[in-house]
Every structure is written in structure tokens, then in C-alpha cells.
Structure 1
Amino acid sequence: MLKYKAPLTIALFLLCLVSGTGSAFAQGKVKDLFKVKSPKIDYVRPDTTILIKYEEFPEDDSDAGKSIFFNPKKQLSIVSEDTSELDLGEQHIVEVSEEVLIDSTWIKIAGYYAIWDTRNINPYRMDGRQLKDTVDITLYDPRAKRDYKMPLEKTPVTSRFGHRGYRWHYGTDIDLNTGDSIYAAFDGVVRINKWDGGGYGNYIVLRHYNGLETLYGHMSRTIAETGQFVKAGEVIGLGGSTGRSSGPHLHYEVRYQGNPLDPELMYDFPDYLLKGQSFVITSALFNYYNKSKSSSSGSRKASYHKVRSGDTLSGIAKRYGVSVSQITKLNGISARTTLKVGRSLRIK
């Protein structure tokens, strides 16, 4: 065996001279050419977050009707405007793997947001009256390039947050013309883009850096898509009068952990600005629920629609988020009945 070792060594030496590695060979640094290992490739499993808790709670016919977290559930009458009912939200099993670009850094939506529900306005199950801490919210920060924008170019208020007749109104209504641009109030991500025929119509919910969420209802058209990152002032939809609405306007809500806040506590709508750079949230801001509960306890049990020219049963049913069969049964008519203008049809 030894007589073959010298020729093999000479052959390797000549090969190294040709390839320019003779000096390395001379120094004994050349590895065995027949034992070079291929690089190791590690498989990295994609990172996803799964919310596995699932519970069911009583639901009303519209998203507006089931957008409040409180119990017990109270029946509210259908009226010409949007409404909200005291109820719990719902959290579904979801798997989120998409990413969003925030401050030039790609991060997982599920990692940035503990709960990401694209169907329910309030999946948080947090009663604001039980809030133990004082939460100081930064509304905008020019140094961090986080600005704010009023939701409309003009902000004449037509209906305020609070008691409205026999029910509670959980937002501020701002007058507009159909087709007017609606803007994102702060930087954030679109959590919900949905149709609610019995309440908000075409609406969007944005979740923001500062922990707040804003809701924009009755739009004629939504533009921003679910999961899209938007900057303050970016157009997210166009004004309209969809859903339960008596005329073109924007129904604007501000929420913290699903709990509606009176927008006029932080906005000066006539002067078209925020009242300050920060806003303090305490449990006292949600004590209105006690009044809301008492005002809704005397709600009427029946709701009616007065037939107008051009109305059809299918159109009325779609407007109020109910079925045609429910309307025909409540009024003792058939689906082929000719509707007379001025007649009052019971909806619920």
C-alpha cells in the first residue's frame, strides 16, 4: 500500500500548483478534497399565532346591535338611525400569518395585536367601568411622525353621543354630502371592513397605535381593505347613507377596548381640531352605561316602517336586516301583496 502513497501526493501537489493553492498545500492547510461536507440547511417553521378560545353569546340582527359588551341583552326598537345594543362580542378561532409594514419594520399582525377579529366590533369583553388604572393615551406625536386628521373636511355635528329618545347613541353624527372623502383619524390598521344592513351600513373599524379604535359608518363605499395599514389623513371611504340612516352623514365612534367614548371629550368639532395631544381614560368615562341601561329598559317592543313610493318587501327587509318571511308573518300578508304607500309595516 505504501508504494501508491507517493504518486498520489505528487498528483495532489501538481493539482494545487495549477489551481494556485500550492502554498496552502505546502503549509498543510489543504483539506481532503474527497471529504468536503455540503452546507447544512436548517428548516424554519413559519411563525403563526392562533387564538383558540371560542365562545358564543346572544346576537342581534345587526353589528350595531351587538357592538356593546354589556349584559344582560336588551331588545331595542328599529328606528331611522343606527343604534347599538348592550351585548357581548364574539371571538372566533383565527390564524394570522400576514404581515404589515409599520415604521419600516415588518411584523406579524398577530404579534402586534393580541386579538385580531375581522368580524366583530367588540371581541374584547372588557367592562370599562371596571378599569382600575388611569390610562394616558397619546393621540398624536409629531416627533414620531404620527399625526392626526379630522374624519371630514367639515365637521358640523348633527347628533351627539348620549340618550336619544328611548335608546342610547354611541357615536357622533357629522353632516356630509354623498361621495365626500372620509379620512383615517390616526395611523393604524383596518380591522373590519363590512356591510351591516340593520345598522352601520358600509363601515370600517381602524385600530390605532395608541390603543384606540375608530369606527366610520353609513359610507356609500369603503376603500381601505381589511389588514391594510393606513396613515392619518388617508382616504378610507366615501360618505353616504347606507344601513339604518335617515340621510347622508358619518356616524363616528371612538372606542377603547371595545368601550365607546364620547368623541366630543377629545374633539372640538366646530374648530376642526383635537382638544389636546393626549387623553386620559378612567372608569368614570363609562358610567354612562347606567343611564343607557335605564333608558333602554322602556324600549318599545314593536318597530314599524312606513311604506314609501318604490318600496318592496325585499328592499325593506334588507334595509332593516330582517327576512321577508318575518315581515309577512308579522303583518299577515304574503310575499306577493301589493304595498300601499303610507301603510305601516311591522318589522319586529
Structure 2
Amino acid sequence: MTFNLKILLSTALIAMTGMVAQAQRRLPESHATQHNALIARQNPTVNPFKIENNDILLNHVKEREEMDMESEIFGEFWNSDNVNAYGNAMVPDHKIIDVSEYCAPIMGRVTSNYGYRRRFRRMHKGIDLGLHVGDTVRAAFSGKVRMTKYERKGYGYYVVMRHPNGLETVYGHLSRFLVKPDQVVKAGDPIALGGNTGRSTGPHLHFETRFMGIAINPAAIIDFENGVPHKDEFAFDKKTYNKSQTYAPAKKKTTTKKRYASTKKRKK
């Protein structure tokens, strides 16, 4: 009887020890589960509909900003009768104009520079680039066409474009238009064919760059020999405006070969 009791007590003790060990093994797992549950409760639930709504809102704000900018650039002073739609605007105190997008309207050599013409007693407000009648003329910058008109004693057939960087460009003495007013074009898009119309002594493109109607010497902005801007940005103020009035590209240094006189020895 005593022997059986000892066996029973030993069996019970072993069983209890196993239960305690099993409980200890489960404790970390239970703790980990509780910890994960706590973190899950603390993290906010991601609502896919809320994300989508935020994207829609951001797109709406962006579209609104673009519309406001377009209205500001292409809405005000959108005069379709005059090359200068701004009247007597003043040169700004300081304006940075991004010209990095520039595309050469025509890859022709400069035939006449910007500046005052004593012979005609008037200002030549652009630069002339040589071409052949029918050559493709391209938009110098992205923008919108403001005018396509004809002037018999001046520009001939000409196009005026306005650009988001604040500039307007003028293309004169054309033979044919390839765009219409209010048409949006990108830099490099064909806008016209070159010609010899208006007050012109031969086929060429008369090209102007203006800011608020104020003519800026294009050569101060563009390196026409290489068809690229001098810099990605042009700082426009009274100082640079006055400087551009008389700006001329630096002349290339010509290397002159030394000439050596050939002397013959006299016969004695």
C-alpha cells in the first residue's frame, strides 16, 4: 500500500512539473502575441479610399495652379492687334528669365544685328538670320501663338508667340503660317516657312525677343553661331538692358601667319 502511494505521488509530481514547463514554454509566445496586438492597436488603419481622395485633391490643386498661371500669362494683355501688347511697360528691377529650353528658329548666319539704323533713322529691334524661301521656322520656346498677321511696310507675314518664361518672340518676313492664334506649341515645333515679305531686301528671318513688350537684343541671350543660350538664365534689369542695347558677339581672333621675305644672294 505504501509502495503504491509513493508511485502515485511520483507520477503526480512528474505531471505537475511537465505542466509548469509547458506553461513556461508558452509564455514568450503569449507575450509576443500580446505585444503584436498592442502595436496593431497603436498603428492607425490605412484607408485606401482616403489615399485616393488625397491624390485627387492634390491633382485638383495642381491643375488649379496651372490654370491660374496660364490665366496670368496668357490672359492679361492678350492683345491681338499690336506687337507690343503691354504699352509703355517699365524695365523690371530684377527678373530671372529661364531660357534653357531655347531651340534655334533657324540655323542661319546672322546677316544684320540688333541696333539703331542711321540710314533709316529707326531702331532695328531684332536680329536677322539668313535662310531660303520655304525653310522651316521653329518656335524658340514652348508657348502660345498670340498673333499671325501681315504688315506690308514692316514685318510682312509675322508670328508673335508668348512663353511661360515671360518672353515673347517675334518671327518676321515669313512666306506662310503653319500655326493659328491661340495655338499651343512646343519648343522646336514648326510655326512658319521663311520668306521675303514686307520691308525686306532679301530672304531672311527677322527674330525678336521681348519682355513686357520691351525689345531685348537677342544676341545678349542667344549664341547664334552655335544655336544655344549663353546661359540657362538671363537676368533682366536696367543694367543688363542698357548693356544689351549695344551688345555684339566677340569677334574671333584671326591668326595671321608671319610672312618671311625671300632674299636672293647677289652674285659677287
The TM-score, its normalising length taken from structure 2, stands at: 0.62
Contact 1:190 1:206 in 2 (8 A): yes
Partner SS for 1:155: coil
Q: Trace 1:1-348 onto structure 2 (pairs within 5 A).
A: 112-128=74-90, 131-140=91-100, 147-152=101-106, 154-165=107-118, 166-287=121-242
Question: Residue 81 of structure 2: SS of its match in structure 1?
Answer: coil
In the comparison of the two structures, how many residue pairs are matched?
182
Cα distance in 2 between the residues matched to 1:186 and 1:206? 9
- Whether the aligned pair in 1 keeps the contact of 2:115 and 2:124 (CA below 8 Å) is yes
| Whole-angstrom distance in 2 between the partners of 1:164 and 1:111 | 33
Which protein is bigger by CA-based radius of gyration?
Answer: 2
Unpaired segments ≥5 residues, structure 2: 1-62, 247-268
Secondary structure at the residue paired with 1:191? strand
Q: Secondary structure at the match of 1:115?
A: coil
Question: In structure 2, what is the equivalent of residue 330 of structure 1?
Answer: none
Aligned-partner Cα distance in 1 for 2:177–2:140: 15
| % identical equivalent positions | 39
Supply the distance in 1 between the matched residues of 2:94 and 2:67 (Cα, whole angstroms).
Answer: 30
* Equivalent residue, structure 2, for 1:313: none
Whether the 8 Å contact between 1:155 and 1:272 is mirrored in structure 2 is no
Name 1:22's counterpart in structure 2: none
| Per-residue CA distance 1:218-245 (angstroms, 9 max, x = gap) | 0001111000000000000000000010
Secondary structure of the 2:239 match is helix
Code of the aligned partner of 2:105:
P
Q: In structure 2, do the counterparts of structure 1 residues 132 and 215 end up closer, same or farther at CA, with 3 Å as the change threshold?
A: closer
The corresponding residue for 2:255 is none
Structure 1 alignment gaps of length 5 or more = 1-100, 141-146, 292-348
Q: Is the partner of 2:207 in helix, strand or coil?
A: strand
Q: Using structure 1 for the length normalisation, give the TM-score.
A: 0.48
* 1:168-207, Cα deviation, whole Å (9 max, x unpaired): 2110000000000000000000001101111000000000
Could you tell me how far apart the structure 1 residues matched to 2:153 and 2:210 are? Answer: 21
Instruction: Verify the 8 A CA contact 2:171 2:208 in the aligned structure 1.
Output: yes
Please, what is the CA RMSD of the aligned residues? 2.8
- Using CA pairs below 8 Å that are at least 6 residues apart, which structure has the higher relative contact order? 2
* Structure-2 change in CA distance of 1:110 and 1:135 (3 Å): closer
Deviation at 1:125, TM superposition (A): 2.2
Change (3 A) 1:283 1:113: farther
The verdict on how the C-alpha distance between 1:223 and 1:288 changes in structure 2, with shifts beyond 3 A counting, is same
* Aligned position for 1:144: none
Shift of 1:266: 0.8
Give the 4+ runs in structure 1 shifted more than 6 A: 103-108, 288-291
Q: Does the CA-based 8 Å contact 2:143-2:162 persist in structure 1?
A: yes
Residues 135, 106 of structure 1: alpha-carbon distance in 2 compared, 3 angstrom cutoff: closer
Checking the alignment, whether the CA contact within 8 Å between 1:261 and 1:285 is kept in structure 2 is: no
How far off its partner does 1:284 sit? 3.0
- Paired position in structure 2 for 1:21: none
- Deviation, 1:150, is 0.5
The one-character-per-residue Cα deviations of 1:13-52 (angstroms, maximum 9, x if unpaired) are xxxxxxxxxxxxxxxxxxxxxxxxxxxxxxxxxxxxxxxx
